[in-house]
A and B are shown apart, each in its own frame.
Chain A
Amino acid sequence: MTTTAQRARVSVVDRLRWEIRDALVITKRNLLKYIRVPTLLVFSTVQPVMFVLLFAFVFGGAIPLQGGLDYVDFLMPGIFIQTSLFGSTNTGVGLAEDMNKGLVDRFRSLPMSRSAVLAGRTVSDSARNLFVVTLMTIVGYIIGFNFQNGLLNAAFAIGLVLAFGYAFTWISATIGLAIKDVESVQAASFIWIFPLTFASSAFVPVESMTSWLQVFSRNNPITHAVNGARYLVLGEPWGAMSDVWITLVWTVALLAIFIPLAVSNYRKAV
């Protein structure tokens, strides 16, 4: 038996190792849920795939694009971002569920790292996002989508989508731990993510919006993220390298704000 005193005196390196190990234990536990409840995976992926098809076929003919670009090519980067943001709301819901089932109490009474439950949750939700985005890409390819900027940029585009979504999982975690009620968390996430996403360049060019909305939309971080992804997928003029940088700055800034907030909410969770 390891004595408690030994466990208490640990170096910084050990602590970091344990922090990662604890987070992986939690990640594994969260991902097991998708294996144990396959319907969850099916239905949570059906919706994004349906969105791809609906948007492509409903708006496809109605939205004229510069240079005659296929709408599906325009759509895919936008819908990647939208899916990744909507997917991030699962983080808050999952944490609220764990809290209501008393699991958070159990975790908090264990000598595990304080951030592992949150890190594990955000990482597993991002893993799920990766799965969904991959699936959507396949569906996109079936209906005529193409990465037009090489494989490397395609990988960067997916990376950008996931990184931006990852920042939002921490916002969602902060909200989930503050509100605690599963259904309220769900609703509370959508009332801001929904308008923010639709008032961006995700589905239609900003130029097609009414003028006051254009002002908002151009400064919307989601527009930058979509344009950044679009730049990596399609190249100019659908976005610019500056959009990629701005998106990364937003990502880092959001993480810097919401990781401490979420961890603090977790410590205080009752």
Chain B
Amino acid sequence: MSAPIISATGITKSFGDVHALTGVDLEVQAGTVYGLLGPNGAGKTTMVRVLTTLLKPDAGKATVAGYDVVTQAAQLRTTIGLAGQYAAVDEILTGRENLEMVGRLYHLSPGESRDRAEEILERFDLTHAAGRTVKTYSGGMRRRLDLAASLVGRPQVLFLDEPTTGLDPRSRLGLWEFIERLVEGGTTLLLTTQYLEEADRLADRIAVIDKGAVIAEGTSDELKGTIGGDVLELEIADPANLQLAIGAVEGMCCGEATVDELRNIVRVPVETAVGTITDAVRRLDTAGVKLVDIAIHRPTLDDVFLSLTGESVEDALPADDELVTANSRKRSRR
């Protein structure tokens, strides 16, 4: 494999006694999409800010496109584009003026800046609003303009911090498609997200980050493998039938069933396909088990967390220690 275009080793960063990063290692191959997945406060933004030279790490070494984030920051900045977590566009300027300004600051000539702005406005479907001041834009339009601005300099490496947060489902889909096309063009992308679904769809590799450290890394399939893929959830009417239900569905696929006795729920790993639910219902019917509810449950970030840390995402937020242990014990009952 060729040398990684982004590489970080042992990056730490503290703000006072908040340890935002506690030794992060990353390697991203050129032309791939890398997802940083983690809950609020995990350190995603801090990591992006270190890699984009906005923040000096306390320790560790990182390079982007061969340039060191500390000692070669100026050169590094010519190779990257950044769209931060919150849209950084000037409300007083029009959409077009925003992009032209960024073009000029990338040291394109006035003519080039204008052409580039036009081209990108077109691509982001903003041409119709290009002459309006950004103050009149909706949140989604601002977000798109912000992303557009990050592409003005034709970056080799693009950093997007939670690019789809705050977008409606349609805009989110549109953005995903756009990002996919962008990467086909060879741009390397590092994006952060709180949604496994998003990382799943876009990223070639994913690092799960929690409390300032990478706790798992791999392709989406590898990660899902560690948490067992899709799960069939059955809520049984009569608690006496729990064992019967387990016996009925355990043969369906690939793993042992688990029971939540408090709520009369049986969970069994499955490989979702057409007919999975029908098959399960038929088996239970044959065994004479009555169902209250049946559903296929896809792994979520919460599940990844549950399996990796024994804590749910909400619990991972700063909270009373005792509460966390009590909750996680309850949540991880299997």
Contact = CB atoms under 8 A, between A and B. Distances in A.
B150 to A, nearest CB: 8
Given A4-B65, A102-B86, A107 B105 contact: yes
A151 B153 CA distance: 48
A111 B78 contact: yes
Interface stretch (A32-40, A122-130, A137-145, A161-169): A32-40
A210 interface: no
A36 to B, nearest CB: 5
B178 interface: no
Interface in A1-49: 1-2, 4, 7-8, 18, 21-22, 25, 29, 32-33, 36-37
Given A18-B107, A111-B106, A112-B105, A106 B82 contact: yes
A21 B79 CA distance: 20
A29 B101 contact: yes
A270 interface: yes
A112 B153 CA distance: 12
A4 B156 contact: yes
B87 interface: yes
B75 A4 contact: yes
Chain B residues touching A, range: 35 or more
A211 interface: no
A7 B92 contact: no
A58 interface: no
A102 B85 CA distance: 9
A22 B113 CA distance: 14
Interface string A189-231: 0000000000000000000000000000000000000000000
A29 B106 contact: no
Interface residues of A, number: 27
Contact of A102 (B88, B93, B106): B88
A111 B80 CA distance: 9
A106 B88 contact: yes
A238 B220 CA distance: 79
B52 interface: yes
B254 interface: no
A7 B54 contact: no
A102 B87 contact: yes
Interface string B64-90: 010000000011011111101011111
Contacts of B149: 106
A121 to B, nearest CB: 13
B105 A110 contact: yes
B55 interface: yes
Nearest to B72: A8
B264 interface: no
A29 B45 CA distance: 28
Interface-central residue, B81, B88, B93, by most chain A CB under 10 Å = B88
A107 B90 CA distance: 11
A101 to B, nearest CB: 7
Contacts of B93: 29, 32, 36
Contacts of A102: 84, 86-88
A111 B74 contact: yes
A103 interface: yes
A110 B102 contact: yes
Nearest to B46: A270
Nearest to B152: A110
Interface in B41-58: 49, 52-55
B329 interface: no
A116 B77 CA distance: 15
Nearest to A29: B101
Given A4-B65, A106-B88, 8 more contacts: A22-B104, A105-B49, A105-B88, A106-B149, A109-B82, A111-B74, A111-B107, A112-B106
Query: Nearest 5 CB-CB pairs, A to B?
Result: A102-B88, A106-B88, A8-B75, A111-B78, A109-B82
19 contacts: A1-B154, A4-B65, A8-B78, A21-B104, A21-B107, A29-B90, A32-B97, A33-B92, A101-B88, A101-B91, A105-B88, A108-B54, A109-B80, A109-B82, A111-B74, A111-B78, A112-B105, A116-B105, A270-B54
Interface of A: 1-2, 4, 7-8, 18, 21-22, 25, 29, 32-33, 36-37, 101-103, 105-112, 116, 270
